[in-house]
Amino acid sequence: DTFKPLKEFQNYGPLVNSEFYTGWFDSWSKSHQTLSTDTFLQAMKSLWEYQSNVNINMYLVHGGTSFAFWSGGGSGSGSGRKRRMTYVTTGYSFDSLLTEAGDITNKYMRVRQFIARVRNKKLLPVPRNTTKTAYGRVLLDKRYRFQYEPSHEMALQSRLPQ
């Protein structure tokens, strides 16, 4: 019973899943993380069938980008100086319903249809995805020295994120 601890503390009011994950973040040198739409919808269905006052807050609906050194990381494995950190990529889509560019995904369309059916709502038109273009090569000719530079001793080396 997912909501048992909440009901023991507060036996009234709505039941809220405040971070219902649409997927998971990507880490450097790891495979791209995805969550199948069928799995996501089954979990969503089980929550809504649990009780009529269950509320779901999806995390994330829209992907985004972290800048500079704000993308975060985990403690990784090992201990002491041999500990290898795991670093989160700056793009965090979490396999979300909308891409980082705001484009509609198949997952979005299926979740939208599911919610409309469960909540008996009429669907409104969906805007088209924006047209993308290539801007060509950008030459970076200036450098900036950061006040804080991360230690490269424990950095993972990877030619490309995987």
pLDDT-above-90 percentage for the chain = 36
Residue entry with tokens 């009011």: 13
Residue 89 half-sphere exposure toward CB, CA atoms < 13 A: 20
Residue 30 pLDDT: 82
Q: What is the pLDDT of residues 106-131, one digit of tens each?
A: 999 999 999 999 889 999 999 999 99
Residue 105 pLDDT: 95
Q: Rounded mean pLDDT of 22-44?
A: 90
132 contacts 100 by C-beta, under 8 angstroms:
no
Residue 31 pLDDT: 86
Query: What is the pTM for the complete model shown?
Result: 0.74
Residue 110 pLDDT: 97
Q: Which residues of 45-72 are buried (b: 16+ CB within 10 A; e: fewer)?
A: eebbeeeeebebebebebbeeeeeeebe
Give the C-alpha separation, 144 to 149, whole Å. Answer: 11
- pLDDT over 80 at 71, yes or no: no
